[in-house]
Amino acid sequence: MKDRFSGGYRLGLFITFEGCDGSGKSTQARMLKAYLTEQGHDVVHTREPGGSPGAEEIRGLILNGDMDRWSPETEILLFTAARRDHVERVIRPTLARGGIVICDRFADSTRVYQGVARADLRPVVDQLHELMIGIEPDHTFLLDIDPDESLNRGLQRIGAEERFESFGADLQRAIHAGFSRLEDEFPERVHRVSGEGEIDEVFERVRALADSIISAKSAPTPN
C-alpha cells in the first residue's frame, strides 16, 4: 500500500484500536502488543492523543481543563497537530522499517468525537485529515460494548484527565452509534470485536483476528 506523503511502499502493518471510553480497548491493545512481540514481530504500541513527546504535550492541552477551554474547531486543530507529529516521528518510521504499529485511537476517534458526537464537523475533520495526515490504518479493531456499560466503566476511573470522561449517557450512545457507522463506511478495514465478557475471552477474539490478518499478509502473492 502506498503512503501518500512519503511516496514509498509500506511494508509494515498499521493496526488501530477504537471504541467508546471504557470499552477495554487499551487493555486489549497492550495484550496484543505482548502477544505479537512474543511471536518475534517488531511491534510499537502507542496511543492518541499523544504517542510522541510533542504530541503528549498537546495531549495535556487538550485533556486538562474545562469542557469549554477550546472551541470544537480549535480542538480538531489540536488533535490533528498532535497526530501529525505522531505520524511523522513514530508511526511512519515504524512502518517504513517493516514494523507493526498498534495504536490506541487514531483518526476514527476524531471522525466520531469531533465529527458527529461532540460537534457536527465531519467535513472539517475529513478535509484536515486529507491535507495533513493522509494515512489510514490497515486494520481497525472496534471494541464494542453496550454504551451504558462503557459509561459505568469509564466513570469508575476518572482521574486528572477528566475532561473527556464526564460524558453523559446520551453522548456515550452518540459515540457508540458513530463508531458503528464507521464500520459501514469502511467495511474492509474496520472489524467489530465484541468487548463483552472476561478480558481473556475478549483477547481470544482479538488474537484470532490478528492471526488471520497477519497470515493473509504473509501469504505469498500470486505472480
Site string for ligand TYD, 178-217 (x = CB under 6 A): ----------------------------------------
Which residue matches cell numbers 511491534?
43
Residue 84 interacting with ligand TYD (CB under 6 A): no
Residues 11-50 as x/- pattern, contact with ligand TYD by CB under 6 A: ----------x----x--------------------xxx-
The correct pick among 15, 33, 79, 135 for binding ligand TYD (CB under 6 A) is 79
Q: Which is nearer to ligand TYD, 113 or 179 (CB)?
A: 113
Which of the residues 126 through 185 are near ligand TYD (CB under 6 A)? 161, 164
Applying CB under 6 A, does 70 fall inside the site for ligand TYD? no
Looking at 28, 110, 140, 172, which residue binds ligand TYD (CB under 6 A)? Answer: 110
Decide if 48 contacts 83 (C-beta within 8 A).
yes
Q: Which three cell numbers stand for residue 98?
A: 517493516
Give the interface with ligand TYD as residue ranges (CB under 6 A): 21, 26, 47-49, 63, 79, 105, 109-110, 113-114, 161, 164
